Amino acid sequence: MNVGDRIANFRKAKKLTQVIFSKEISISQGSLSDIEKNKTEPSFITIQNIINRYTDINIEWLLTGKGDMFITKTVKNEEPVNTEETQEEFFARKNKEMIDFLSKNKANPLALSKYKPVYNNDDDDRESEFWDLEVVSEISAGIPIPCYTYDEPLHVVPVSKKILPYPYNYWCFRVNGDSMSPEIEHGDYVVLNKTFDTNSLDGKIVAVRNSDGLTLKRLILDTKNKCSFLFPVNKHHSHIILDEEHTIVGALKLIIRIYPD
Domain that holds residue 47: 3-109
Residue type, 27: I
Give the domain-ending residue among 109, 139, 161.
109
Per the CB < 8 A criterion, the answer to whether 191 and 204 are in contact is no
CA angle 221, 8, 90 (to 5 degrees): 85
Q: Tell me whether residue 68 is in a domain.
A: yes
Please, which residues have CB within 8 angstroms of residue 46's CB and are 6 or more apart in sequence? 25, 27, 31, 35
In Å, what is the CA distance from 56 to each residue of 149, 174, 185?
32, 36, 43
Closest by CA to 194, choosing from 225, 174, 169, 229, is 169
Q: Tell me whether residue 48 is in a domain.
A: yes
pTM of the predicted model, to two decimals? 0.53
Verify that 130 and 242 share a domain, yes or no: yes
| Predicted local distance difference test score (pLDDT) of residue 45 | 67
Verify that 49 and 144 share a domain, yes or no: no
Give the domain-ending residue among 109, 141, 176.
109
Question: What CATH number corresponds to the domain at position 10?
Answer: 1.10.260.40
Q: Tell me whether residue 226 is in a domain.
A: yes
The count of domains in the chain is 2
Q: Tell me whether residue 261 is in a domain.
A: no
Verify that 124 and 88 share a domain, yes or no: no
Verify that 46 and 142 share a domain, yes or no: no
Alpha-carbon distance of 171 to 120, in angstroms, equals 13
| Predicted local distance difference test score (pLDDT) of residue 18 | 93
Alpha-carbon distance of 254 to 125, in angstroms, equals 23
Verify that 57 and 126 share a domain, yes or no: no
Verify that 76 and 134 share a domain, yes or no: no
Alpha-carbon distance of 236 to 179, in angstroms, equals 8
Verify that 187 and 84 share a domain, yes or no: no
Verify that 120 and 105 share a domain, yes or no: no
Q: Say which DSSP state 79 is in.
A: P
98, 99, 104, 110: CA torsion to nearest 10 = 120
Query: β-pairing, 227-231 with 155-160?
Result: unpaired
Buried b (16+ CB within 10 A) or exposed e, 220-251: bbeeeeeebebbbbbeebeebebeeebbbbbb
Give the domain-ending residue among 109, 139, 163.
109
- pLDDT tens by residue, the chain, 261 residues: 788 899 999 999 999 999 999 988 888 888 899 889 888 777 766 777 888 788 788 887 887 788 889 876 444 443 444 556 665 566 556 656 665 655 554 443 333 333 344 555 544 444 567 878 888 788 888 876 665 554 555 678 888 887 877 777 788 888 998 999 888 999 899 999 888 887 888 889 999 988 788 899 999 887 777 788 889 988 888 888 888 888 888 899 889 888 766
Question: What CATH number corresponds to the domain at position 155?
Answer: 2.10.109.10
Alpha-carbon distance of 209 to 247, in angstroms, equals 5
| Predicted local distance difference test score (pLDDT) of residue 78 | 39
| Predicted local distance difference test score (pLDDT) of residue 56 | 83
Verify that 93 and 151 share a domain, yes or no: no
Alpha-carbon distance of 171 to 119, in angstroms, equals 9
Q: How many residues in total does the chain contain?
A: 261
Verify that 36 and 84 share a domain, yes or no: yes
Query: β-pairing, 137-140 with 170-176?
Result: parallel
Alpha-carbon distance of 199 to 133, in angstroms, equals 28
Verify that 9 and 78 share a domain, yes or no: yes
Verify that 76 and 183 share a domain, yes or no: no
